[in-house]
């Protein structure tokens, strides 16, 4: 075995990122020992899952209750035509294992709700939220803030996408910004309004990058900043956000 407990094959596999002074062998060891949950194996979860598996994150949990549909394949690159009708969590697990057999992937075929969120998310080091409904987004946020787990939020619609990171007790959470879920039907979904495939690819990659930074402990996470991408305009901007006084989620955050 070589330094930091990696085999020669592992050093070769991860060599390009271990060359980075911000990562190195110590950072790669942190990734190998980390546990990350990915909520949603769709447009956002697809690139996130692929890149985190490829990066060598040791344990990955994919949580999704849906099955692969033909309409998913335009953007959900975890899945192939042969996977239509399969549970997305199973399809994701198999694809991630094919990319990197050295990581452990748990497929959870369940819809994350407030009633089961704590049981599904506890024990993870970082959570990536890429769901397509607001009830799940708020359940992930409130649970992660209460547990003290950093969470990377993502959302897309049409040609635009947003990503930002919550570090409980230190930065604004999803509820600080949006307060309450919108009324049903007030905001169109991608199934109604559409989405161009590369947008969730871009946002999902940002989410994976945020997770790596948080796990390794390098760079500046998007905590207190929302990064917004507009592919149609070819623009990227960041919007500062602050913790909201009286936010019920943040009030439950453990002290840091």
How many angstroms separate the Cα of 159 from the Cα of each of 105, 188, 201, 207?
31, 14, 12, 17
List the structure tokens of 236: 């990227």
Residue 250 DSSP symbol = H
Q: What is the 3-state secondary structure (H, E, C) of 94-162?
A: HHHHHHCCCCEEEEECCCCCHHHHHHHHCCCCEEEECCCCHHHHHHHHHHHHHHCCCEEEEEEEECEEE
H or E, element range at 22: none
Catalytic residue among 190, 218, 247, 250: 190
Residue 148 DSSP symbol = T
* CA–CA distance, 201 with 10 (Å, rounded to integer): 27
In contact, 224 and 173? CB cutoff 8 Å: no
In contact, 138 and 175? CB cutoff 8 Å: yes
How would you class 237 by CB atoms within 10 Å of its CB: exposed for 0-12, middle for 13-18, buried for 19 or more? exposed
Active site residue 250: no
Residue 73 DSSP symbol = G
User: How many CB atoms are located within 10 Å of the residue 230 CB?
Assistant: 14
In contact, 112 and 220? CB cutoff 8 Å: no
Return the active site residues: 190
């Amino acid at each position: 075995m070589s330094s930091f407990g990696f085999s020669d094959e592992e050093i070769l596999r991860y060599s390009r990122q271990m060359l980075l002074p911000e990562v190195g062998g110590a950072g790669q060891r942190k990734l190998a020992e980390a546990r990350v949950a990915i909520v949603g194996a769709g447009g956002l979860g697809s690139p996130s899952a692929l890149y985190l598996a490829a990066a060598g994150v040791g344990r990955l949990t994919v949580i999704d209750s849906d099955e692969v549909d033909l309409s998913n394949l335009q953007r959900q690159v975890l899945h192939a035509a042969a996977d239509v009708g399969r549970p997305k969590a199973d399809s994701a697990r198999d694809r991630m294992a094919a990319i990197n057999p050295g990581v452990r992937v748990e497929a959870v075929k369940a819809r994350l709700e407030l009633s089961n969120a704590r049981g599904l998310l506890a024990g993870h080091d970082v959570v990536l939220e890429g769901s397509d409904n607001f009830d799940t987004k708020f359940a992930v946020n409130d649970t992660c803030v209460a547990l003290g787990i950093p969470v990377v939020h993502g959302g897309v619609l049409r040609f635009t996408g947003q990503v930002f990171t919550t570090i409980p007790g230190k930065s604004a959470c999803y509820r600080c910004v949006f307060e309450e879920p919108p009324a049903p039907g007030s905001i169109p979904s991608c199934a109604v309004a559409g989405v161009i495939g590369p947008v969730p690819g871009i946002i999902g990659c940002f989410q994976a990058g945020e997770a790596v930074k948080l796990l390794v402990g390098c760079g500046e996470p998007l905590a207190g900043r929302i990064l917004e991408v507009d592919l149609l305009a070819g623009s990227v901007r960041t919007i500062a956000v602050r913790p909201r006084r009286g936010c019920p989620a943040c009030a439950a955050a453990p002290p840091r």
